[in-house]
Structure formats: structure tokens, C-alpha cells
Amino acid sequence: MAFPYWIPFENEWWTFTAFLFLILGFVGISDFTLKSGWISPEANRKWVHFLVGICVSASPLIFSSNLQPITLAIIFIFLNAFALKEEAFKGIHSQGRMSYGTVYFPIAYFLLVLGFWPYPEFLIISLLILAISDPLASQVGQSTPMPSKFKIWEDEKTIQGTIAFFSSAFMIVYMGGHSLFDYSNNYLLGMALFTAFGATMAEVSSCKGTDNISIPLVSILFMIGYFEHVSETGHFFNLTISASSIFLFLIILLFSVAYQFHSLSRSGYYGGLVMGILITLIGSWRFLVPLAVFFILSSILSKLIKNASFYKSKGSQRDIVQVYANGGIALLICIYDFLQPNAITFFLFLASVAAAMSDTWATEIGKLSPKKPVSILDFKQMQHGLSGGITRIGTIGSLLGACMLGLAIWAILPMPPFVIYGIILCGFLGSAFDSFLGATVQAKYETQSGEIVESPQEDAVLISGVRWINNDMVNLMNTAFVPILMYFYLVLF
């Protein structure tokens, strides 16, 4: 199909204006129907989600460039954030639970039209899955008498709703594929099954509306990955699959073993599985191996040190937030490298992984220190387990972690020695930067008993740092800072 399919106005800004007022009209109507009480608040929100989703999915059909859709997304990002803060336009917000889905929705739209505009067919299908399958799953789950409930992360899901989501996502991809592509029935059947599987994993592992971002992004990346790695033949079971299928199998096996040995929580298992599959599909084995080295060696180290440490931490299971705090930036770099190939991007990816590994090893090996850590700022003693503290053995562990990753890269991937040195150096400096952030901006609270903690508790008072910056946010900032550091290292040397 040729894109755009239909241009309503010669000047596309007129189309943009009409599009904007159409969506604002849906928002206004939803506010009116909510106040009038004609339908329930939750049904009201689902209808808006559906209608707006259908509208934005048509963007590639009526716009020749992504300038207008990007502008539209930016307008609604700020509008929805303002409405959520001021409790305006209640018709588009969830009334029964805390959710930021209305803010995430335009962010997802922005990311899709910004990064994936050259893939209009996939863009349309992924937005349709979000528009149709997501509210349908919620409706089925809520209307089913005595539904079978389960929980992956924080939000409860239902078996019935999940089946509805998978089935509808499958039909959207399958029927959309027949409308937009000229491929065989069996080839599109395989794509529909694979994409519906990925979208469903994104949906069940969501929390507080994050599925409004994860569903369309995972869907479009799974479709692109399928087209990249699966060749078309006349028979479904004879599809020629590249060597990446072996890595997909190994990824599933690796995370399943980690889950069985309690290195990952249930949410961490699903999150890691999605991340590993995406890196395999969008990147290559070169991207996958460093992350696997980090995860395997760090998990082994954590198990070995657990019983030998001088203080006991609150468990070593990584949840989905920790998985993406350590590997999310690396995943984004991998996706960016696919969309904008550049020789230097892979080195930035490796630096981000090195930072995560260096910081993790500093924390784990630091537990072996019989002495209390000292603050990285003033070198005064502080209690075990608080961010911002360093020990001699922990610092050695940080350098060892960066060196271990550098050694693995040197052994597996041919590259200039100065690049390996840069990865080790930047990873080690990233661990120090992580400690600096932990000592300065990470939130710390004092309980009524005088204990200093890093998680908000009842009656605890914030005594330092920024309330929304926790350890996971610090890890995310660290793994984002180090690729920038690596870039300047490569430019200078």
C-alpha cells in the first residue's frame, strides 16, 4: 500500500488542525458523559482510549511526514500531564485506581511516529493493538463473573482478560497483515502469533498504565524482528528461521533457570525475557552476549556472597524495575543502532553494560567488608547498605567487574585495545558516579526510631535527596551517563 493513502487537505496543517479538534472533541464528550452519569467512569475512559487510539493509528494514512503527528503528540503529552495534575478532564483518567496511562499514551505515540515512521504498516497495527486489545482485555476481565486472577507486577490481571487480549491482538495483526502486506497466509499467521505473544507479555507485566507504552513498542519491535529474521516459504512449518532462533531459545532457557533459582522475581522474569528477545531480534548476538555475561556472572556472584557477607540485604531477586534500570538504556541504544546504524553506537552499548556490571559487583563484593563503608563525599563512616558509601574491597570489586566484562568482550569480539580500555575505565567511573548520586540526590528517610532508610515508610521523614530518585533511578542515570562519557573518550582518543 502506498502512503499516505488519502490527504484530506492540500495543506497538511489543516489536516492537523482537524485531527487535533477531533481528539479534543472526544475528550470533551468524555468529560460531559462522565458528569452526566450516562455510562460508568471506567467504560467512559475505555471508549475514549478506543476512539483516540483508532484516530492516531490512521496517522500514516493521512500525513506524508511525521512532523504533524510529532507536534500532536507533544501537545497531548503536556495537556494530559497538566490535566492529571489539576484533576481536569476526568473522563480520560482512571477513576478506580492510580494510573498514568493517559500520559503514557501520547508518549508512546511520540516515540512511534518519531522512530518508526518508515514502517507505516507496523505503526498502524501496533497502535490498533493498543486501541482495541487493551480496553477489550480490561472489559472482559471486569465483566467475567469470578475471574481467575494473577499478578506479575503490581496490577492484578485475569486469565479471561489475557486470553481476550491475545486473541484480539492476533486477529488485528493477522487481518492487518493481509490488508497492508502482500505475503502468504502462513507467513502472516506466524507473524500474528509471534507479535500477539510479545504484546501479551508486555500487557501482563505492566503497572499503572505502563502498558500504554510497552504494548505498542513491543508489538512494533516484534513485527520488525519477525520480518528481519523469518523468511517466507510456502508452508508455515517450513519457514526458514535464522540462527537468532537458537539465541531466542537460549534466552528463554537462561531467564527460566534464573527464575527457578530465585535470581529473578516473576516480574523480573517477564521483563528480562522481553528485553532479551528484543535485543536478539533488533540487535544481534554481539549485543546479547555482553548482557548475558553481566547477568550470569552477577547472579553467580550474588549467590556466592549471600552467605558470606557481613550484613544481610533484603533479598537478591531482581524485579522488572531493577532489570530495566540496569539494562533499559542498553536496550534503547540497541534499538537506536537498528534505526540509525553507526559503528560507534555498539561501543556506547558496551559502556552502559560495563557501568551496570561494575556497580553491581561493587555492591556485592562490598558486602564482604568487615568495616563500615565511608561516604564518597566526606569519607565519614556510614551504616551498611546505604547508597553513597564505598569500601576498599567494594572499589576493587567495581574495577574487577568492569575488567571481567572487558575481558569477555576482548575474548569474543574483535576490537581495538583502546576501546576495551575505554569500556573498563568508563564502567569503573560509572560506579563511582553511581555512589556520588547515591550520596547527593538519592532520597533518604529517617524513621521514628532514628533509623536511616532509602524506601519511604509510614511516618518516615525525608532528610536528604529528592523524593522521586530511588536506587533504581540512580542506576538508570548511571547507565545513561556512562555512554556519554564513552562517547567523549572515543572522540578524544
Closest CA to 130 of 44, 27, 213, 25: 213
Average model confidence (pLDDT) for the chain?
87
pLDDT tens digits along 139-198: 898 888 889 999 898 888 999 999 999 999 999 999 999 999 988 888 999 999 999 999
Helix or strand holding residue 424 (H, E): helix 417-440
One-letter amino acid identity for 250?
Answer: L
Q: Coil, helix or strand for 29?
A: helix
Residue 239: its pLDDT value, please? 46
Same domain for 230 and 254, yes or no, is no
The verdict on 280 and 225 lying in the same domain is: no
Report pTM.
Answer: 0.90
**Counted domains in the chain:** 2
Enter the C-alpha cell of residue 297.
556472572
Residues 131 and 272 in one domain: no
Instruction: Based on the fold, state whether residues 234 and 252 are members of the same structural domain.
Output: no
Task: Answer yes or no: do 249 and 216 share one domain.
Answer: no
Whether residues 256 and 215 fall in one domain: no
7 in any annotated domain? no
Alpha carbon distance 171, 347 (integer Å): 40
- Residues 457, 387 within the same domain: yes
Set of cell numbers at residue 485: 562519557
Last residue of a domain, one of 215, 241, 267: 241
Residue 289: how many CA atoms within 13 Å on its side-chain side?
A: 13
- Read off the pLDDT of each residue in 119-136 and give the average, rounded to a whole number: 95
The answer to whether residue 367 is domain-embedded is yes
252 and 175 co-located in one domain: no
Give a yes or no: residue 187 inside a domain.
yes
Whether residue 304 is found in the same domain as residue 223? no
Residues in the chain, overall count: 493
Let me know: does 113 contact 62? Beta carbons within 8 Å: no
* 304 plus 391 within the same structural domain: yes
Q: Is residue 1 situated within a structural domain? A: no
Task: Specify the range with the lowest mean pLDDT, choosing from 46-55, 82-91, 236-245, 255-264.
Answer: 236-245
Query: Could you tell me if residue 6 is inside a domain?
Result: no
pLDDT (tens digit, 9 = 90+) per residue, 94-103?
545 556 777 8
274 and 235 inside one domain: no
Note whether residue 282 is domain-resident.
Answer: yes
The residue out of 189, 219, 241 marking a domain boundary is: 241
Torsion of CA 122, 327, 135, 157, to 10 degrees: 140
Residue 276, pLDDT above cutoff 50: yes
Q: What is the pLDDT of residues 384-402, one digit of tens each?
A: 778 899 999 999 999 999 9
pLDDT(73) > 70? yes
Q: In this predicted model, which residue has the larger pLDDT, 53 or 45?
A: 53
Write out the residue range of the structural domain in which residue 395 sits: 244-492
Instruction: Please check whether residues 102 and 78 belong to one and the same domain.
Output: yes
pLDDT tens-place string over residues 418-440: 999 999 999 999 999 999 999 99
Pick the last residue of a domain from 211, 241, 271: 241
